[in-house]
Amino acid sequence: MARKTSYRKTYSRKPAGRSFLSRLFRGLLLILFSLLFIGIVYHYRKGLAYYLGFKSEKVLDEDAVDKHLSDVRNIRVLENHKGKVIGIDVSEFQGKVDWEEVEILDEKYPVQFVFIRATAGNDRVDRQFKRNWEGAKENKIMRGAYHYYRPNENSIEQADLFIKTVKLQKGDLPPVLDIEKLPKNQPLDSLKKGLKRWLNKVEKHYQVRPIIYSGERYYADFLKEEFGDYLFWIANYNFYREKIEDDWLFWQFTEKASLPGIKHRVDVNIYNGDLEQLHFITVE
């Protein structure tokens, strides 16, 4: 009868020193992340308190919380810019705005200006432009109009459409050129020539230099050097960005605000100055 051969399992043991170092490393990482979390909570403590309703001395349900600025960072941004002017920008994507209700952002910050999309490309008039343009004026909100530029369409035709659509009056903000995309099948120089044609034609018509709107990266990479004579309205929603740059005229710091009178989320902007300075740049 054959005898069964028994096998004893052997286990390799890790050196005690290596196991200790591994546990120590994990412990240090846990402490580091805990300190980081505590630091972030402390940094945004005012925004968190406001956002959760502690300042209002009432308990907010989920729907009420959602109607506040959705990002705690945005509360901090507003707190960092006391004394500067707060405004919004709208288009047909916000639906029909009840301008009589558009007064206070987040129960604390007056909305004192609005940029309204007028046109896009060489053939598109915003479906809500006329209504928004008149509504802002009737409710004494300083207004401005912007054109969404399409790089692959004729720049003069785009300028003509904007001029035909927008009748600026005394007290209105300068016209705005919104450029966000790169051209297809054409060099960058061609885009810049088109932008300059639009800017020159619009400036000549209204007798006021337009403002250029773009994202911060687009601005830095393609516009800042060659269009340095213009004033810029910059979009940046990044978590780390909490203050406006000195050379920005306006900063669009969020696209996720809720505001009475507007059913959908809306962009919020900061003007780099006070109300008197804002009046100074308006059309005379």
Which distant-in-sequence residues (6+ apart) come within 8 Å of 166 by Cβ?
118, 119, 133, 145, 175
Catalytic residue among 123, 134, 157, 180: 180
Report CA dihedral (90, 255, 271, 194) to the nearest 10 degrees. -70
Cα–Cα dist 202/14, whole Å: 75
The answer to whether residue 180 is catalytic is: yes
Half-sphere exposure of 69 (CA within 13 A, CB side): 26
Find out whether 48 and 71 touch, Cβ atoms under 8 Å.
Answer: no
Find out whether 158 and 122 touch, Cβ atoms under 8 Å.
Answer: yes
Angle ∠(252,258,264) on CA atoms, nearest 5: 95
The answer to whether residue 61 is catalytic is: no
Catalytic residue among 89, 126, 178, 216: 89
Q: List residues with catalytic annotation.
A: 89, 180
